[in-house]
Amino acid sequence: MKILVINAGSSSLKYQLIDMENEAVLAKGGCERIGIPGGKLTHKANGQTFVIEQELPDHTQAISLVLKELVDKQAGVISSMDEIDAVGHRVVASGEAFKKTTLVTDEVMATMEEIAELAPLHNPAAILGVNACRAVMPGKKMALVFDTSFHATMPDYAYMYAVDYDDYKAYHVRRYGAHGTSHKFVSGEAAKYLKKDIKDLKIVTCHLGNGSSISAVKGGVCIDTSMGFTPLAGVPMGTRSGDIDYAAAEFIFRKKGMDLSEGLTYLNKKCGVLGISGVSSDFRDLAAAKEAGNDRARLALDMFAYSCKKYIGAYMAAMGGLDVIVFTAGIGENTPDVRADAVSGLEAFGVKLDAEKNRQKNDGEIHDISAADSRVKILVIPTNEELVIARETAALL
Ligand code: AMP
């Protein structure tokens, strides 16, 4: 069975064609600058990279070009579109409308339109991607795989905000979380790697990238996560503030003469480690600036690691113990200093890092970086959200 995984952004579209027999990636790539001048497709297959520069006025044109490449004599990996058994679409937010991976129908897409405002930067793009695929591949089975699904198991006392309950009921305002496919994948991989039944494990998964979220996974299900109604909450991120007293944010908005929408843009795009350091949202730049003596870069890195540590501790308490900490995504997989700082001082709780193993370069494999006498295993696990989307889609069929 071959599954095409689609991750559509407002002006981009990433894809992978995965053979589920051996979970091998047959081809992958992405379209950039959809709907704006300078369209481009980068396609990787058969050990080569193919670049096509061509205007892509909309997502339908983009997906048409992708399919043309997939069946192309030189760049292609299949002989016809019939070889694609189904398409799995990544969707950021499901609200309370969908709790699990869902087959695309007209009715489902009508509901998707209704809940689009929950993730205005992401969900409308996913709808464009689905509609484009339905136009180009009519009749093909398609699934929506939600970033929020893995968090649907959170108990009410974990997902509720302490607001007027009637407002929760009316507007469905609550914690939904994000990066669910990644948290699901790495917690599953951790259990496999340790040769343990996931039902017996208490795992904290740290997905640390440009956007970061931390989850408590007890017995294989998520019981809490750091992102909230939107991906603005939790630890400080590349450009997002993370948790903040709303009154402090409103105070800044008022002082700077920002309306609420400008204020939200400020919290999403101008804060986080970029705002603190004034240097960059990229952790490689921050590390270099800190090395050169920039104290605000040092502060940004310290705040990030401290916040991660607080979530690890909080989730240890929420789960009544801890067996495994997993680091994943761009920062989690590549930045030993962040990992070391995030778990330093937790030795009394059985968390002990092996400094040497922690320095190991990311080679795309799973690494155990805990000391031999650490009760809690500390693992670095490369995430693979596309594979989860493909697996979920295949399982639905
Ligand atoms: P992501 O959103 O998962 O792509 O992660 C992006 C973040 O990961 C950025 O802050 C990068 O600085 C960091 N990152 C990605 N690759 C590396 C690397 N090879 N070394 C250090 N940091 C990296």
Q: What is the pLDDT of residues 264-298, one digit of tens each?
A: 999 999 999 999 999 999 999 999 999 999 999 99
Pocket test for ligand 1, best of 14, 208, 214, 335 (most atoms within 8 A of CB): 335
Query: SS3 string of 14-27?
Result: EEEEEECCCCEEEE
Sequence-separated (6 or more) residues with CB below 8 Å from residue 233: 175, 226, 227, 242, 243
C-alpha span between 307 and 315 (Å, rounded): 12
| Residue 270 CB less than 6 A away from ligand 1 | no
pTM over cut 0.75 = yes
pLDDT at position 163, please?
98
Verify whether residue 147 is a known catalytic residue. yes
286 part of a folded domain: yes
Residues 348 and 238 in one domain: yes
Last residue within a domain, chosen from 146, 176, 210: 146
63: CA distance to ligand 1 center in Å? 28
65 part of a folded domain: yes
Whether the predicted pLDDT of 121 surpasses 80: no
Q: What is the DSSP letter of 200?
A: G
Out of 147, 224, 323, 368, which one is annotated catalytic? 147
Find the mean pLDDT for residues 49-65: 96
Question: Torsion-angle region of residue 196: left (phi > 0), alpha (psi -120 to 50) or beta?
Answer: beta
52 part of a folded domain: yes
**Nearest to 379, CA basis, from 180, 235, 188:** 188
pLDDT at position 118, please?
82
C-alpha span between 212 and 197 (Å, rounded): 27
Ligand 1 atom at shortest distance from the alpha carbon of 238:
10
Pairing of strands 141-146, 102-103: antiparallel
Place of tokens 């939107």: 230
Find the mean pLDDT for residues 140-144: 97
pLDDT at position 117, please?
85
Residues 137 and 224 in one domain: no
117 part of a folded domain: yes
334: CA distance to ligand 1 center in Å? 7
Structure tokens at 306: 């401290």
Residues 345 and 213 in one domain: yes
Residues 334 and 207 in one domain: yes
> Distances from the Cα of 69 to the Cαs of 25, 31, 228, 269, 291, in angstroms?
15, 12, 39, 35, 45
**Nearest to 3, CA basis, from 35, 31, 33, 26:** 26
C-alpha span between 68 and 62 (Å, rounded): 10
Sequence-separated (6 or more) residues with CB below 8 Å from residue 353: 339, 340, 343, 344, 369, 370, 371, 374, 378
| Residue 336 CB less than 6 A away from ligand 1 | no
**Nearest to 10, CA basis, from 133, 123, 116, 118:** 123
Residues 292 and 355 in one domain: yes
Contact yes or no for 187/117 (Cβ under 8 A): no
Residues 283 and 225 in one domain: yes
Pocket test for ligand 1, best of 239, 308, 334, 380 (most atoms within 8 A of CB): 334
330: CA distance to ligand 1 center in Å? 4
Last residue within a domain, chosen from 111, 146, 181: 146
Whether the predicted pLDDT of 231 surpasses 80: yes
Strands (E), 33-172: 40-45, 48-53, 86-91, 102-103, 141-146
155 part of a folded domain: no
167 part of a folded domain: no
| Residue 329 CB less than 6 A away from ligand 1 | yes
| Mean of pLDDT over the chain | 96
78 SS3 class: coil
Residues 124 and 201 in one domain: no
pLDDT at position 147, please?
94
Domain of 109: which CATH number? 3.30.420.40
Domain that holds residue 104: 2-146
Whether the predicted pLDDT of 10 surpasses 90: no
Residues 247 and 134 in one domain: no
| Residue 280 CB less than 6 A away from ligand 1 | no
Residues 9 and 68 in one domain: yes
User: Do you know the residue count of the chain?
Assistant: 397
Estimate the share of the chain in helix, then strand, then coil, as percent rounded to the nearest 5.
Answer: 45, 20, 35
Residues 290 and 364 in one domain: yes
| Residue 322 CB less than 6 A away from ligand 1 | no
Residue 163 sits at φ, ψ, to 5 deg, of -115, 175
72: CA distance to ligand 1 center in Å? 33
Please return the burial class of 56, using the count of CB atoms within 10 Å of its CB with bins 0-12, 13-18 and 19+: buried
Residues 215 and 358 in one domain: yes
Whether the predicted pLDDT of 119 surpasses 90: no
Q: What is the pLDDT of residues 159-168, one digit of tens each?
A: 999 999 999 9
Residues 124 and 258 in one domain: no
pLDDT at position 250, please?
97
pLDDT at position 120, please?
78
pLDDT category at 224 given cuts 50, 70, 90 is very high
70 part of a folded domain: yes
The sign of the torsion formed by the CA atoms of 298, 299, 304, 308 equals positive
pLDDT category at 35 given cuts 50, 70, 90 is very high
Ligand 1 atom at shortest distance from the alpha carbon of 362:
19
| Domain total in the chain | 2
pLDDT at position 285, please?
96
Contact yes or no for 378/368 (Cβ under 8 A): yes
387 part of a folded domain: no
